[in-house]
Amino acid sequence: MGAVPAEPRRVGVFGGSFDPPHIGHLTVAGDVADALELDEVWWVPAARSPFKVEDTLTPAEIRLEMVRAAIADDPRFVVRDDEIRRGGVSYTVDTIRAFRDEEPDTEFFLILGADQADRFGEWREAEEILRLATLAVVGRDGTEGAGIDSEVGTFERVSVRRVDVSSSDVRERVRRGGDVSDCLPPAVLNAIRHHALYTPPSSAAAGDLV
């Protein structure tokens, strides 16, 4: 009898600006990894999102530093700087295509929020993305994935724990001098303090964030 072929690796692709990465991101990535039995989750900070006007986006090297700090405690998490090295507007289809070229035998799962899934038809080469990867659509109300044509490709619905925090909320709280220690990993908070991020030049010292 011949050897039983090895199961393909299962890798989640988790993209975003991550400005900053917070506990909500970690919860989503961990819950999806558990639910879909992923070997790894690749965190992919965008150079620039096609759907956002990000004139004040934190420099790429600092966002990469924050992601590395955020994911350090989970061996399943890996940061990829492909979109940042490529520069310009970050299109998911280019990233997924490059990953498939790099690892043709790996099964990729693109992790999306329900709001992203409902706009999926607006994405560049959406049908090609569905050919290259399975979508992992996260949500809690059972309506996620309404914008996806299931006849074009497959997708998985994944329920995750609710964490009411967003990167924009964190930035605004920092600008107002609020406490953000409840929604950030300590290492990310340290990076924000070190680089004095999100704080107007005339505001108090970065060490007053907590």
The pLDDT of residue 210 is above 50: no
Q: Given a cut of 90, is residue 61 above it in pLDDT?
A: yes
Q: Provide the percentage of residues in the chain whose pLDDT is more than 90.
A: 70
**pLDDT, mean over the chain:** 88
Where in the chain are the domains?
10-162
pTM for the predicted model, two decimal places: 0.88
pLDDT in tens, 145-204: 555 555 445 688 899 998 999 999 999 999 999 999 999 999 999 999 999 999 876 544
pLDDT score of 140 more than 70 = no
What are the tokens at 139? 């949500």
The predicted-structure confidence for 14-29, as pLDDT tens digits, reads as follows: 999 999 999 999 999 9
| pLDDT score, position 142 | 47
Sheet holding 40-45, edge to edge: 77-79, 40-45, 10-16, 107-113, 134-139, 155-159
Answer whether residue 81 shows pLDDT above 50: yes
Cis-peptide, bond into residue 20, ω within 30° of zero? yes
DSSP letters, 141-191, are SS-TTTT--TTT--EEEEE-------HHHHHHHHHTT---TTSS-HHHHHH
* pLDDT tens sequence across 25-53: 999 999 999 999 999 999 999 998 776 65
Short-list 75, 156, 107, 108, CA closest to 7: 107
Nearest to 174 by CA among 18, 49, 20, 67: 20
Which of the residue ranges 73-77, 130-134, 149-153, 203-207 would you say has the lowest mean pLDDT?
Answer: 203-207
**What CATH architecture is 10-162?**
3-Layer(aba) Sandwich (3.40)
pLDDT for 56: 79
Q: How far, in Å, CA of 28 to CA of 15, rounded?
A: 12
Nearest CA to 111 out of 26, 20, 209 is that of 26
Q: What percent of the chain is predicted at pLDDT more than 70?
A: 83
